[in-house]
Amino acid sequence: MKKGLYSILKGTFLVSDDAFKNWRMILFLSALAIIMIASSHSADKKVHEIARLNNEAKEMRSAFVDGRKKLMELKKETVVERKMKEMGLAISEIPPTKIKVKSQN
């Protein structure tokens, strides 16, 4: 146990006769660590993208609600009447009448 710990601390396990097995394992573990780090960065990037898209969707929903509210306000009869007065138009005091056309057949 003591000898194994000293060989790890001194690095003699990397230059001994059976060091090829150790190097293969070290390279394999290093490759796995690099893949794990890349995967973590990719996941973080996706989380940030999802958060950005959620914020953008909330902003668009808010803009839609504001636009709909303005439209409903502009469609009110009093607002239309006021805008017509500004343009010099007035509501007719004579109600509309139906025109009936009799067929000549």
Q: Which helix (H) or strand (E) holds 78?
A: helix 77-87
Structure-block tokens of residue 77: 């009869």
Query: pLDDT digit string (tens) for 64-73?
Result: 999 999 999 9
* Per-residue pLDDT, 22: 76
Domain boundaries, the chain: 2-87
* Per-residue pLDDT, 19: 74
Do the beta carbons of residue 22 and residue 13 sit within 8 Å? yes
Where the chain has pLDDT below 50, the residues are none
* Per-residue pLDDT, 103: 84
* Per-residue pLDDT, 8: 72
Cα(48)–Cα(95) distance, rounded to whole angstroms?
Answer: 62
Cα(17)–Cα(72) distance, rounded to whole angstroms?
Answer: 85
- CB neighbourhood size of 16 (10 A): 12
Cα(58)–Cα(66) distance, rounded to whole angstroms?
Answer: 12
Query: pLDDT digit string (tens) for 19-36?
Result: 777 788 889 999 999 999
